[in-house]
Chains A and B, each alone.
Chain A
Amino acid sequence: MKTLRLTLAHNAGPLAALAIFILMFAIYIAFHPAGLSSAVVTTATNKAVLLALVAMAQTLPVLTGGIDMSVGVIFVLTNCLASRLVVGTMPEALLGILAVLVAGSLAGLVNGLIVVAGRLQPMITTLASGAVFAGIALWIRPSPGGDVQSDIADFATGTLFDTIPVGLLLLAAVVLAVWVPFRRSEYGRAALAIGSNENAAYVSGVPTRQAKMLVYVLSGLLAAIGGILLTCNTYSGEASATVAGAYTLNSIAAVVIGGTSLAGGWGTAIGSVFGAFILRTIEDLLFVFDLPPLWQPLFQGAVLLLAISVGAIRVFRVKNRLEIFQ
């Protein structure tokens, strides 16, 4: 009994995010003119999965107390790369996917090396490396365009048995193949330990350096999966600084809404997935409620601000003024 209670308590953040998402999605479906149809869900999913992947990518460095400001850029960079490499015959395209995934991981490795071996602050490191990646993206694709293997794209953005969106299945597969093993590996635990108390982790013999390196590599890999899916959605590549910026910022918001502490040590990538779903559903809700498009950016910003302000409740419980400085 106590085991169950504690397990629930440890997952309160993601569970709350899931509950909010279900509520919002239910409202969305209830008011949507077409109701719950496979087409509606698939459209909603394909948008949400992209942010969900980038948010998962962001979660990993955040768990260690770091941050990846280049995650959106890697997403865009791999999009550009995929629009060149994931083309031609099926075997060629599959090889292209592999190459793009490797490229994304390499970008993450560069971040990891600078943070671990160079001992620079993650935020500044990834801001600067983001500029480099953006330059490379621009070099690969100076103007929007390119193509993607259409069988792969149609499969990835379509539905299975005309009901389940493939994007959702892909997301689930990524969670099971990347996040779950990571979280249960020595390094996943090390990542949380670093974010919680790096010194305690170090004296306990936790492989802190390797774990830090790994979170950035996996972050790059996850962003690359997102980049490939983006290509499947748009059938093209574009080195857009706006897209990169928006995804980076939204990924941070999704991570926070999903119950992960920005200070590190606490959180799950699954929570971030729900956080991303919530952010995307807000947009959809604005659509079904016919909010004038001009009001949408303001409304989105206000909801974001409100969502993160929930964390302020803590302050009003604190009775010792010194404790709020921790």
Chain B
Amino acid sequence: MPDPSILLEMRHVTKRYGGTLALSDVSFAARAGEIHAVMGENGAGKSTLIRVSSGVTDPSDGELLYRGEPVRFTSPLQAVRQGIVCVFQELSLVPDLTVAENLSIVDGPRRFGLANRRAEIERARALLDSVGCGDIHPLELVRDLTLSRRQMVEIAKALGRKPRLLILDEATSALTSEDVERVFAIVRRLRDEGVGILYVSHRMQEIEALADTVSVFRNGRHIETFKAGSKPVGDIVQLMIGREVESYYPPKSTAPRGETALKVDALSWGRQLKGVDLELHKGEILGIGGLDGQGQRELLLALFGALKDVGGTVTAGGQRLRLSGPTEAMAAPLPIALIPEDRKFEGLMLPMSVKDNMSLAALKRFSGPFGIDAGAEAAEQQRCLKELQIKAPDLDAAVSTLSGGNQQKVVLAKWLMTAPGILLFSDPTRGIDVGTKQEIYRLLRRLADEGAAILFYSTDYAELIGCCDRVLVMYGGRVTRELAGDELTDRNLLEAALDVSPMRRSA
């Protein structure tokens, strides 16, 4: 006997990508008039769940039912026309088209079969007003909008498609708190009108404020579904991680501070860096914290020489750097390595083999008059494979076939091969499973104990507290506070990040 309130139901759905199982035998239902939170770590299968539901991809196995009938969407358009509308995390807006054109990209107002621009603009105004973004001009190009504005346009676009089932995938990740409130109000209103809502988010507070029902996913499996508020937050985290979270971080070093490895004075660049001073010592893990986008990423890029026209001075291992490019940074007395934030575009050549990726930065070491010494190269690769416990069945296979965690380890291996004295980490654990995270923390500590100097930017406060000896908090392109020892707490970090109680400014 089918339950009439069920909008979309999955029965034993499995999705494989190559050799990896993204979804494994998932049975799950979304109901009308209900806000259903979907939770899980990165790689838990949430995005695949969304892709299958919204017709972007087909399940490898299993059955999809929509309003009681088995369905098989052959395109996203079919799903949209039946009322399944998705707000995608990687926005589905076309950057070179105007806001109005994007909002009516399919099934917009027509006249004689052609797009009716006047009506499109009117429609855009109405939709933008409905999400409280009347200040966006319909003829603005999407590429000229900030990320948070784009996200609101994306939500307006979804609303314009008259959803029966609305899927929000990390829809609030870039929004201001005001806009988040607006979105919440819209979502609640839709629920009361009988729309079903799948809400995917990492933010526990949002889930508590909004959800009626919660489902937890882990490793592509549906773990449990329960009423919101029926479990304490700790239990939910436990379900997501799947095991006890104890002794998560390696013990901190007790050795006295080593000599100065990197000294930065009055570093400035455009509007992002307004005079950053810092001193990094050998054997130390120095964290960089603060809200996202306060110049942390630019700081690391500037130190590595990837930015032009940087002001101030940088001294690495006693030698002043001209900041002319990565080649110079890598050749400093204490060689610098940058583990970039964006693994797929800046860290790896995805279609190239694991082997070639690993040794790319260190080829100088193996090169002689007769080219690359394949034996020495292979030996070093094997050493790194073991040291980092990289699970790669075939070194000749493309690095894209590895899991996210192992891909990140390949990036690490690439830089460890260059024997760096200073390591710059830019949010290295983003999108990585818990096990690998822990391995990376231990590796950081071991490298520091062996004398490396580490600058570690992270968006995860717990990580900063757990791993770092000191943390510099950045706000508006400056270091506004230094926290160490007992001061290094969640509360202090957050206050410093928001710049609410500037107790002590760093030198």
Contact = CB atoms under 8 A, between A and B. Distances in A.
Contacts of B77: 205-207
Interface stretch (A1-9, A66-74, A155-163, A282-290): A1-9
B309 A319 contact: yes
Interface string A7-28: 1001000000000000000000
A44 B86 CA distance: 54
Contact of B94 (A2, A193, A207, A322): A193
B115 A318 contact: no
Contact of B139 (A6, A204, A319): A6
Interface stretch (B97-105, B170-178, B220-228, B459-467): B97-105
A204 B137 contact: no
Contacts of A3: 137, 139
B76 A203 contact: yes
Interface stretch (B233-241, B283-291, B300-308): B300-308
B126 interface: no
Interface residues of B, number: 43
Interface string B91-131: 11111111001100110000001110100000000000000
B156 to A, nearest CB: 13
A184 B325 CA distance: 46
B75 interface: yes
B346 interface: yes
A204 B56 contact: no
Contacts of B117: 184
Interface string A22-47: 00000000000000000000000000
Interface residues of A, number: 31
A151 interface: no
Contact of B269 (A2, A186, A266, A319): A319
A200 B94 contact: yes
A184 B76 contact: no
A321 B306 contact: yes
B96 A189 contact: no
A150 interface: no
B113 A185 contact: yes
A196 B142 CA distance: 11
B140 interface: yes
Interface string A205-235: 1110000000000000000000000000000
A10 B141 contact: yes
A203 B56 contact: yes
Contacts of B92: 200, 203-204
B457 interface: no
Interface string A273-299: 000000000000000000000000000
A322 B114 contact: no
B80 interface: yes
A186 B112 CA distance: 12
B270 interface: yes
Given A10-B98, A189-B97, A200 B91 contact: yes
A197 interface: yes
A265 interface: yes
A195 interface: yes
A175 interface: no
A321 B308 contact: yes
Nearest to B140: A6
B269 A196 contact: no
B94 A197 contact: yes
Contacts of B456: none
B24 interface: no
A139 interface: no
A189 B115 contact: yes
B475 interface: no
Nearest to A265: B96
A319 B307 contact: yes
B255 to A, nearest CB: 36
A320 interface: yes
A192 B91 contact: no
B307 A185 contact: no
Contacts of B80: 205
**Across the A-B interface, the 4 shortest Cβ-Cβ residue pairs:** A205-B77, A196-B96, A265-B96, A6-B139
Interface of B: 54, 56, 75-77, 79-81, 86, 88, 90-98, 101-102, 105-106, 113-115, 117, 137, 139-141, 157, 269-270, 298, 301, 305-309, 325, 346
10 contacts: A184-B115, A189-B115, A200-B92, A201-B105, A202-B56, A205-B106, A206-B77, A206-B105, A266-B96, A320-B298
Given A203-B92, A265-B94, 16 more contacts: A6-B98, A7-B139, A184-B115, A185-B115, A193-B94, A195-B96, A196-B97, A200-B92, A203-B76, A204-B76, A205-B76, A205-B77, A206-B106, A320-B298, A320-B307, A320-B308
